[in-house]
Amino acid sequence: MMKKTATIAIHNGLNEDTQFGCVVPPIYLSSTYNFLEFNQPRAHDYSRRGNPTRDMVQKALAELEGGVGAVVTSSGMSAIHLICTVFLKPGDVIVAPHDCYGGSYRLFNSQQERGAYRVIFVDQNDDIALKQALAHQPKIVFIETPSNPLLRITDIQKISELAHQQGALVVADNTFMSPVLQKPLALGADIVVHSCTKYLNGHSDIVAGVVICQCQKQLEELSWWANNIGVTSGAFDSYLLLRGIRTLVPRIRLQQENAQALVAFLQAQPLVEKMYYPALENHVGHQIAKKQQQGFGAMLSFELKGGLDVIKLFLSQLTLFTLAESLGGVETLICHPATMTHAGMSEEAKKTAGISPSLLRISVGIEDSQDLINDLQSAFDAATKR
């Protein structure tokens, strides 16, 4: 019988040690492996190509997403770059969301500049624009949902069907949801990619990525190229990721619960202008999120009234919300996208993407929600008194 996500997350690699009966697997740090005899390699010969610790976490991630296998890489960006390297040749087209993760935007653009492939950025919720983009016969359609920082939702099933009609491969960046809340392969995507740096590891102490696919031939190609270009993850990071994944389900549940409490509080604040959270019925993607997600996640954004001075004062008063980029860890982070994560975008591009200077984004952690609310309350009090 198929095991459920919470069980898979816990049981990866447990009780596999035959030498000492370790419940938790050891870390295999060795870079190289001896040959049994002349011309007789073992399962592993060199850790860039294969490492037992990385094998374990790859197996866990493949199982969690429902794929045939996975390649764990040095970062989310190297995972995305790996996919593009394997499946795109000069002249080939990738269709990507106009509001995709900044690093992906920069990668696709800079690779286009040097002639590696062509990219068409499009609002994937604009049916006409999407159709025009698909008419260019893309090799890859790249989906990222929910988007960052406004949490726009894209219909994975619908886009996958349209993309497949054109013979394109569908790649979904599932970083914001994790396999606990969304399973793109089951919705029609061919390949899932994650920044494991975020929810999957969950403790903000490694940078890693993963590619998970449904087709054995594609998996072999991806693994071969990952070794060839040397982007596989090291043993220690693989181990921390394996460890982080064990608590993925309860972390996400708590983070989501806290997010809901914060949204309810923030919505009642006179200084809050606009809330972005897919559980809200007035959120543009609410219906699709309800259909394709198993929950609404723990990322939220809102606009604060009063201009930059109020934002600065508000942020300076917070003690439990760390002003930092990244997301998905157990600690709550707050970010000002216009000057931080999205600072690389032109003013024009920010405007088109809807990233206003009054926008704040929160990655909700697992602290006590009342403490978080009290902290916000003090910051609002200070900002109101000003």
- The smaller minimum CB distance to ligand PLP, of residues 195 and 293, is found at 195
**Does 103 sit near ligand PLP (CB under 6 A)?**
yes
How far is residue 304 from each of residues 10, 90, 241, 301, 314, measured CA to CA in Å? 40, 45, 36, 10, 9
Tokens at residue 143, please? Answer: 């989906």
Give least dist CB 75 to ligand PLP, A: 3
Q: Which residues, numbered 170-189, are part of the site for ligand PLP (CB under 6 A)? A: 173, 175-176
Q: Which residues, numbered 282-321, are part of the site for ligand PLP (CB under 6 A)? A: none
Measured CA to CA, the distance from residue 119 to residue 133 in angstroms comes to 10
Give least dist CB 272 to ligand PLP, A: 24
- Give the binding range for ligand PLP (CB under 6 A) out of 101-109, 230-238, 312-320, 369-377: 101-109
The question of whether 183 is a catalytic residue gets the answer: no
Q: Give the other-Cβ count within 10 Å of 165's Cβ.
A: 9
One residue of 144, 155, 190, 237 binding ligand PLP per CB under 6 A: 144
Give least dist CB 76 to ligand PLP, A: 2
One residue of 197, 201, 238, 332 binding ligand PLP per CB under 6 A: 197
Block residue for tokens 């960006």: 77
Number of residues binding to ligand PLP, judged by CB under 6 A: 16
Helix (H) or strand (E) holding 165: helix 156-165
Give least dist CB 170 to ligand PLP, A: 16
**Residue 372: CB partners within 8 Å, gap ≥ 6?**
258, 261, 262, 320, 321, 332, 364
**Residue 140: CB partners within 8 Å, gap ≥ 6?**
83, 84, 87, 88, 92, 93, 94, 95, 168, 169, 170, 171
Question: Which strand ranges, in their side-by-side order, compose the sheet holding 209-213?
Answer: 69-73, 209-213, 191-195, 169-173, 140-144, 93-97, 118-122
One residue of 13, 67, 69, 76 binding ligand PLP per CB under 6 A: 76
The question of whether 48 is a catalytic residue gets the answer: yes
Which spans of this chain sit near ligand PLP (rule: CB under 6 A)? 75-77, 101, 103-104, 144, 148, 173, 175-176, 195, 197-198, 207, 209
- Catalytic residue set: 48, 101, 173, 198
